[in-house]
Amino acid sequence: MSTPSHSARRSAVYLLDQVLGEGRLMSDLIAAGKLDRLPPPDRARAQRLANDTLRGLDRADRLLSRQLRKPPALHVRNILRLGTVELCMGGDAHGVVNELVGLVGNDRRHAKLKGLVNAVLRKMADGAGKPWHDLRLPRLPAWLREPLVAAWGANPVNAMEKAHFAGAPLDITVKGDAAGWADRLGGTLLPTGSIRVRDVGQVSALAGFATGDWWVQDAAAALPVRILAPKSGEKIVDLCAAPGGKTLQLAAAGAVVTAVDISERRMRRVDENLRRTGLDAACVIDDVLQHEGSYDAILLDAPCSATGTIRRHPDLPHAKDGSDFADLIDLQARMIDHAVSLLKPGARLIYCTCSLLPDEGECQVEDALARHAGLRTDPAALDLPGIEPRWITEEGGLRLRPDYWADQGGMDGFYIACLRR
């Protein structure tokens, strides 16, 4: 039995091996070109298969434990995991089983387990996978779940885990007529102005992508710029700009934009997005803490734990362990202090992180207000369509969570504050 040297399933197993075996983030693997040999549709399918498997990992392992005396080597286990998830989610049994058995059979290290993989996956297809939908929702690992329960309570965290398991629809930001594009793409115009599209395959094949009429951006991630409310001609710097969605928003509003990021590779993506959309910004590869200038407004989307993006990046809890939190929190504070020094009198600063941890959001702003005399939050800037009063925090920021808009598909976890001096 033969298997194509490069296929969506083979590539999905490779991604699982790297995430679960090497602790690598899927976004880093894709940026490094690990899926470039696949045509775009298969590239999208490989990512979807890997993400579905990571979301359902706990359920898959529970079902597989009933069929295995002991877990096989990680590579084979990941093949079984992927096959179990795909079969339990309605995948074609013949195609799933044949290709995955072929993957094992063509691997000299694990070929002797070909019969085991065939037997287990056929059992899953024949009924062993039926309990899938009755199993409990997969939980976050303890290193993350415990601080989130301490911050928000058990029931909200349960709701977040439900949102994580459901995954994320595609949200986009458009340059022009949002309602018109929602109709054209068969999407829904969300209360905050983003468009949500479901059941998307290859994003680059959608109308308007190649012509640069819109870009992919979660509805929560689009709110910092909407709160900043950029004006035409304003001199604005986007600190930690990559991958560039907020830079595009600022440029589309007519601001004079400087996009700053320390990563040359990531800044190339910002430049590509600017060229595709026909928008203009000065791209500067620089350490944010060394950047100099004086600005009418600043957007600081600081490096963070990214714990608010798990519904879109289910690899994160498996590739991280929380050990870098202290360093990130220290870096965020130093970036806020430096950003304040770049503000013109009366100017405004948006501080935001895609984190669910108060230490990276609410607590950072409280501490910044204590460090800088004359700095204040501007809760009035949060008075925008779609923003619910219950999301506004005690210190005057905005807390977004994956369980918000649950009936509409959720949103990324974010913290956003508008600061003025």
pLDDT of residue 202: 82
pLDDT surpassing 50 at residue 341: yes
- Mean residue pLDDT of the chain comes to 95
pLDDT of residue 300: 98
Across 86-96, b (16+ Cβ under 10 Å) vs e yields bbbeebebeeb
Is residue 240 situated within a structural domain? yes
Is residue 146 situated within a structural domain? no
pLDDT band at residue 201, thresholds of 50, 70 and 90? confident
What digits encode the pLDDT tens for the residues 323-335?
Answer: 999 999 999 999 9
122 and 263 fall within a common domain: no
306 and 410 fall within a common domain: yes
- Which of 205, 230, 258 corresponds to the end of one domain? 205
Does 354 qualify as catalytic in the annotation? yes
Is residue 164 situated within a structural domain? no
CATH code, domain carrying 15 = 1.10.940.10
CA dist 249 → 34, 74, 259 (Å): 30, 43, 12
Angstrom distance (rounded) from CA 419 to CA 414: 16
pLDDT surpassing 60 at residue 23: yes
106 and 174 fall within a common domain: no
Is residue 153 situated within a structural domain? no
pLDDT surpassing 90 at residue 245: yes
pLDDT surpassing 60 at residue 59: yes
184 and 100 fall within a common domain: no
Is residue 156 situated within a structural domain? no
pLDDT, mean of residues 383-390 = 96
pLDDT, mean of residues 76-85 = 98
- Which of 148, 178, 205 corresponds to the end of one domain? 205
100 and 222 fall within a common domain: no
103 and 185 fall within a common domain: no
pLDDT surpassing 50 at residue 2: no
330 and 379 fall within a common domain: yes
The total number of structural domains in the chain stands at 3
pLDDT of residue 200: 80
Q: Which of 240, 304, 352, 354 is catalytic?
A: 354
Containing structural domain, residue 70 = 8-134
What digits encode the pLDDT tens for the residues 284-306?
Answer: 999 999 999 999 999 999 999 99
97 and 190 fall within a common domain: no
pLDDT, mean of residues 42-66 = 96
CATH code, domain carrying 323 = 3.40.50.150
pLDDT of residue 105: 94
What is the pTM assigned to this prediction?
0.94
200 exposure class (CB count in 10 Å sphere: 0-12, 13-18, 19+) = middle
Is residue 210 situated within a structural domain? no
384 and 354 fall within a common domain: yes
As a residue count, the chain comes to 421
What digits encode the pLDDT tens for the residues 344-379?
Answer: 999 999 999 999 999 999 999 999 999 999 999 999
184 and 222 fall within a common domain: no
185 and 124 fall within a common domain: no
What digits encode the pLDDT tens for the residues 406-417?
Answer: 999 999 999 999
Is residue 149 situated within a structural domain? no
Angstrom distance (rounded) from CA 99 to CA 7: 10
pLDDT of residue 5: 56
Is residue 357 situated within a structural domain? yes
Above pLDDT 70, what percent of the chain? Answer: 99
197 and 99 fall within a common domain: no
